[in-house]
Structure formats: C-alpha cells, structure tokens
C-alpha cells in the first residue's frame, strides 16, 4: 500500500478512536481534531515541502495520550513511523 494511502488510513483510524472515546476531555479532543486537520493539509503536500513541525506535533500528542488513551497514542506513533519511512 502506498505511504499516502497508509497515512490516510491511519487518520481514519484516529477519527474512529475519537468516536470510541466520548469521555475524552474536550481540550484533548479539540487538540487532536486540530492535529488531524493540520495533518490532512500536509498530506496534500509533496514530501519535500513537509515542515518538520508536523512530526514534532505528532510526538507531543503521543505524550499527551500515552497514559490515558494508549490506542490513540499507538495510532499517532504509527503515523510518525510512516512519515519517517517516506522521509518526513
């Protein structure tokens, strides 16, 4: 599966995780929704034009979700790994 398709699939899984966790505090929910929106914009760009901050943002999000929501953190880690695999 091409990397962009993998990334889009992982974003879709992340959205599903949000739906499965209605107890997620609104602040965390909002930050994840904003991260997903930012990431989807980045998916439209060529890898060479990707800012490194998207990976930093994802790593920070992993830290915020790791303890309370390991499923969400796992999906975020998968996205970071996939980005690394395509040179971002």
What does pLDDT average to in each consecutive run of 10 residues of the chain (88 residues)? 80 90 90 86 66 81 90 90 77
Structural domain boundaries enclosing 21 = 3-85
Overall number of domains in the chain? 1
- Contact between 76 and 4 (Cβ < 8 Å): no
pLDDT the model gives residue 50: 58
Q: Please check whether residue 33 is in contact with residue 74, taking contact to mean a CB–CB distance below 8 angstroms.
A: no
User: In terms of C-beta density within 10 A (0-12 exposed, 13-18 middle, 19 or more buried), how is residue 71 classed?
Assistant: middle
- pLDDT at position 35 is 87
pLDDT score, position 7: 83
Model pTM score: 0.76
Q: What is the pLDDT at residue 1?
A: 64
């Amino acid at each position: 599966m091409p990397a962009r398709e993998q990334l889009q699939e992982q974003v879709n899984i992340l959205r599903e995780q949000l739906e499965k966790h209605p107890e997620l505090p609104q602040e965390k929910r909002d930050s994840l929704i904003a991260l997903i929106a930012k990431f989807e914009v980045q998916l439209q760009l060529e890898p060479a034009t990707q800012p490194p901050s998207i990976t930093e943002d994802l790593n920070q999000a992993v830290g915020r979700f790791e303890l309370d929501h390991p499923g969400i953190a796992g999906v975020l880690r998968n996205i970071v790994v996939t980005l690394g695999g395509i040179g971002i």
